[in-house]
């Protein structure tokens, strides 16, 4: 019962005073509450929609973070905990703790923050489901202490405290000093994406002007009296015949164009060249790849003939993925801790992440072969 009371609003003892923090305000002060979803975050959504490379990078990071294994200090509860992690409903259409964390990490990378909720059953004696909360439904504040975040539910213009704050899950990605909100992985990229999309838009317009062939038909009347008197009618007939010939070609039929007199036909824009955009586009993509932290070839980019993942790139990417794992680990432990507490089990849970393997399969096979040969030689000497 004490555990449910803590979930329903009981808070741990707060800090006496934070001397370098600004003056605390009440939670009902609009200037003190912070919306978790801002106008800046809408730019990140537009960026993912307009630049497929950014969306693919975030999805690859989510998959590369990998899976995990739960280890419980109580051996009797080990199987029960793993069954819960594999079968807990998530959002009504998914199942498993992995599904919850995939959506959670996606929001964390996109917005710099992610929120979720542990949903109890009607009897409040067990976990019914996990829910990935939209950031637009929550606000955060620190009315009692700047080192203790409290969450509030936003319903239209109404803001009210969360009834069971202990069931709320929230993570911030690299928050600035004194801030409760994190920083998106895409921070700084909307400007780069805007330049890139303007280049692509110009490429499309240039191809409309140059690539979509248009013709200029010029009729020059002769010096005789007939041409001088009937120039307008002859020009109209030529235009009609040319239009019918082009319409027939558009329908897949071949129709010859016959004209009498001095008629000149030229392709409009045939002498122009489309501007080479390889260098500026590559520069913009390099900025994006540098911010996203993935090797270029993982995103389908090849800027050299020997593009491959080096050991240094693999080590850097591994450190990035491990940093994301450190953010997710407390969330996993909190969910498992609530599950065990509701089951009446006093035990601790550790998260063992799967090994990150980014090396080439050939190098891995060669390493395994060398290890097997070394073990065989050691057995022979013994």
Residues facing residue 215 across a β-bridge: 267
- pLDDT tens digit sequence for 30-57: 446 778 888 888 999 999 999 999 999 9
Spatial distance between the Cα atoms of 3 and 345, rounded to a whole number of angstroms? 12
Residues whose CB is less than 8 angstroms from the CB of residue 343 and which lie 6 or more positions away in sequence, other chains included: 77, 80, 126
Query: Checking DSSP bridges between strand 94-95 and strand 214-220, what pairing results, if any?
Result: unpaired
Which residues touch 200 (CB under 8 Å, ≥6 apart)?
Answer: none
pLDDT at 306: 60
Residue 308's pLDDT is 62
For residues 316-351, b (16+ Cβ closer than 10 Å) or e, as one string?
ebeebbeebbebbeebbebbbbbbbbbeebebebeb
Q: Can you give the pLDDT at residue 62?
A: 93
Are 107 and 134 in contact by the 8 Å Cβ rule? The answer is no
pTM of the model: 0.77
Whole-number pLDDT of residue 367: 74
CA dist list (Å): 6 to 161, 164, 338: 15, 8, 11
Instruction: Name residues of the chain where pLDDT drops below 50.
Output: 25-31
- Structure tokens given for 208: 């409309």
- In this structure, the strands spanning 214-220 and 262-268 are antiparallel
Taking the C-alpha atoms of residue 356 and residue 312, their distance in angstroms, rounded to an integer, is 14
pLDDT for 100: 95
Q: How many Å apart are CA 293 and CA 316, to the nearest integer?
A: 8
- pLDDT of amino acid 365: 67
Q: For position 334, what pLDDT does the model report?
A: 93
The reported pLDDT for the residue numbered 7 is 60
Q: Supply 332's token pair.
A: 């996993």
**pLDDT score recorded for residue 27:** 44
The confidence score (pLDDT) of residue 139 equals 85
Q: List, in sequence order, the alpha helices (H) in 188-269.
A: 189-206, 225-250
pLDDT score of 31: 47
- For residue 36, the model assigns a pLDDT of 83
């Amino acid at each position: 019962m004490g555990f449910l009371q803590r979930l329903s609003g009981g808070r741990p003892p707060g800090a006496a005073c934070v001397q370098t923090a600004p003056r605390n305000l009440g939670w009902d002060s609009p200037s003190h509450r912070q919306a978790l979803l801002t106008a800046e975050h809408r730019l990140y959504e537009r960026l993912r929609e307009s630049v497929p490379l950014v969306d693919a990078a975030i999805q690859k990071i989510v998959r590369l973070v990998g899976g995990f294994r739960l280890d419980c200090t109580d051996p009797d509860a080990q199987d029960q905990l793993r069954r819960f992690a594999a079968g807990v409903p998530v959002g009504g259409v998914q199942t498993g703790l992995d599904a919850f964390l995939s959506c959670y990490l996606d929001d964390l990378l996109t917005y710099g923050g992610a929120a979720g909720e542990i949903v109890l059953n009607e009897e409040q004696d067990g976990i019914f489901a996990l829910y990935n909360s939209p950031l637009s439904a929550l606000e955060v504040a620190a009315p009692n202490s700047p080192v203790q975040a409290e969450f509030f539910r936003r319903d239209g213009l109404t803001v009210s405290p969360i009834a069971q704050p202990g069931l709320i899950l929230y993570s911030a990605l690299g928050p600035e000093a004194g801030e409760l909100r994190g920083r998106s992985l895409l921070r700084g990229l909307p400007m780069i994406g805007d330049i890139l999309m303007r280049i692509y838009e110009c490429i499309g317009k240039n191809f409309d002007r140059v690539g979509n062939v248009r013709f200029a038909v010029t009729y020059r009347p002769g010096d005789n009296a007939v041409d001088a008197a009937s120039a307008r009618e002859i020009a109209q007939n030529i235009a009609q015949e040319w239009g019918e010939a082009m319409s027939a070609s558009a329908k897949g039929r071949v129709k010859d164009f016959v004209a009498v007199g001095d008629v000149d036909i030229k392709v409009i824009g045939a002498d122009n060249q489309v501007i080479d955009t390889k260098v500026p586009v590559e520069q913009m993509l390099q900025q994006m790849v540098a911010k996203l932290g993935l090797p270029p070839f993982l995103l389908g980019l090849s800027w050299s003939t020997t593009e491959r993942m080096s050991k240094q790139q693999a080590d850097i990417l591994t450190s990035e993925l491990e940093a994301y794992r450190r953010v997710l680990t407390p969330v996993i432990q909190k969910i498992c801790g609530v599950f065990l507490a509701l089951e009446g089990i006093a035990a601790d849970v550790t998260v063992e992440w799967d090994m990150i393997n980014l090396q080439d399969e050939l190098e891995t096979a060669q390493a395994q072969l060398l290890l097997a040969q070394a073990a065989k030689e050691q057995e022979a000497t013994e």
